[in-house]
Amino acid sequence: MDRRVVIVTGGAQGIGFGIAKCFAETGAALVLADLSAPRAEEAAARLRADYGVEALAVGCDVAVRADVEAMASAASEAFGRIDVLINNAGICPFVHVMDMPPEMWQRTLDVNLTGPFHCTQVVARRMIEQGRGGRIVTITSLAENVTAPTQVDYGASKGGVRMMVVGFATALGPHGITCNAVAPGMILTPMTASHWEQPGPAEFIKTRVPVGRIGTPVDVGRACVFLASAEAEYINGVTLRVDGGHQAVCA
Ligand SMILES: NC(=O)c1ccc[n+]([C@@H]2O[C@H](COP(=O)([O-])OP(=O)(O)OC[C@H]3O[C@@H](n4cnc5c(N)ncnc54)[C@H](O)[C@@H]3O)[C@@H](O)[C@H]2O)c1
Q: Residues 38-54: pLDDT tens digits?
A: 999 999 999 999 999 99
Q: Which atom of ligand 1 is nearest to the CA of 12?
A: 39
81 alpha carbon to ligand 1 midpoint, in Å? Answer: 25
Spell out the domains of the chain, with CATH numbers in brackets: 5-241 (3.40.50.720)
Largest Cα–Cα separation, the chain: 53
Tell me if the pTM is above 0.95.
Answer: yes
Residue nearest to atom 40 of ligand 1 (CA): 90
Asked if 154 is an active-site residue, the reply is yes
Neighbours of 38 (CB within 10 A): 11
3 alpha carbon to ligand 1 midpoint, in Å? Answer: 26
Which residues does a 6 A CB cutoff place in the pocket of ligand 1? 9-10, 12-16, 34-36, 60-63, 88-92, 111, 115, 139, 141, 184, 186-187, 189-192
pLDDT-based confidence at residue 2 (cuts at 50, 70, 90): confident
Between the alpha carbon of residue 28 and those of residues 3, 24, 168, the distances in Å are 5, 5, 24
Cα–Cα distance for residue pair 114/108, rounded to 1 Å: 9
Q: Are 182 and 239 in contact (CB under 8 A)?
A: yes
Q: Which of 85, 191, 220 to mutate to test the pocket of ligand 1 (most atoms within 8 A of CB)?
A: 191
Asked if 158 is an active-site residue, the reply is yes
15 alpha carbon to ligand 1 midpoint, in Å? Answer: 7
Q: Determine the Cα angle at 133 with ends 129 and 137, to 5°.
A: 115
**Statement: residue 21 has pLDDT above 80:** yes
